[in-house]
Amino acid sequence: MGMVGGGREALIGAVHRIAAQMDGQIELVCGAFSSTPQKSKLSGKDLYLEPERVYGTYRDMIQKEGKLPADERMDFVSIVTPNNMHYPVAMASLDGGFHVACDGPMTVNLDEAQNLERKIEATGKLFCLTHNCTGYPMVKEARDLVAKGRLGKIRRVVVEYPQDWLAERLEASGQKQASWRTDGRFAGVSGCIGDIGCHGHNLAEYITGLRITEVCADLNIFVNGRTLDDDGSVLLRLGDGAKGILWASQVAIGSENALSIRVYGDKGALEWKQEDPNSLIVRWLNKPADVRRTAGPGIGKSAASAARLPAGRTEGYIESFANIYKEFASAMAKAIDGKPVDDSKFDYPKVRDGIRGMFFIDTVVKSSASESKWLEVPE
Are residues 25 and 116 located together in one domain of the fold? Answer: yes
The CATH number that applies at residue 149 is: 3.30.360.10
106 and 65 within one domain: yes
> Does residue 278 surpass a pLDDT of 90?
yes
Residues 62 and 196 in one domain: no
pLDDT tens digits, one per residue of 296-328: 999 999 999 999 988 988 889 999 999 999 999
C-alpha distances out from residue 363 to 74, 216, 234, Å: 37, 9, 11
The domain boundary, picked from 84, 103, 125, lies at 125
3-state secondary structure 47-91: CCCCHHHECCCHHHHHHHHHCCCCCCCCCEEEEECCHHHHHHHHH
Boundary of a domain, candidates 125, 156, 190: 125
Whether residues 204 and 284 share a domain: the answer is yes
Q: Is residue 77 part of a domain?
A: yes
Distance CA 180, CA 198 (A): 17
Give a yes or no: residue 245 inside a domain.
yes
Which CATH number do you get for residue 61? 3.40.50.720
> Is residue 113 located within the same domain as residue 154?
no
Same domain for 78 and 182, yes or no, is: no
- How confident is the model over 158-180, as pLDDT tens digits? 999 999 999 999 999 999 899 99
78-119, pLDDT tens digit by residue?
999 999 999 999 999 999 999 999 998 999 999 999 999 999
Total-model pTM: 0.92
Same structural domain for residues 255 and 147? Answer: yes
Do residue 115 and residue 194 come from a single domain?
A: no
Question: What range defines the domain where residue 266 resides?
Answer: 138-310+362-369
Q: Is 167 in the same domain as 292?
A: yes
Q: Is the residue at 17 inside a domain?
A: yes
The helix (run of H) or strand (run of E) holding residue 369 is helix 351-369
pLDDT one-digit tens code per residue, 203-227: 999 999 999 999 999 999 999 999 9
How confident is the prediction for the chain on average, in pLDDT?
Answer: 95
Strands across the sheet containing 127-129? 30-32, 2-5, 76-80, 99-102, 127-129
Number of structural domains, the chain? 2
Identify whether 266 is part of a domain. yes
Residue 347 confidence (pLDDT): 95
Residue 261 within any structural domain of the chain: yes
The DSSP secondary structure of 199-236, one letter per residue, reads HHHHHHHHHH---EEEEEEEEE--STT-SS-SEEEEEE
Task: Please indicate, yes or no, if residue 378 is contained in any of the structural domains.
Answer: no
Does position 378 have pLDDT exceeding 90, yes or no? Answer: no
Domain assignment present for residue 133? The answer is no
| One domain for residues 176 and 92 | no
Domain assignment present for residue 342? The answer is: no
The verdict on 85 and 165 lying in the same domain is: no
Q: State whether 106 and 157 are in the same domain.
A: no
Mean per-residue pLDDT for 350-374? 93
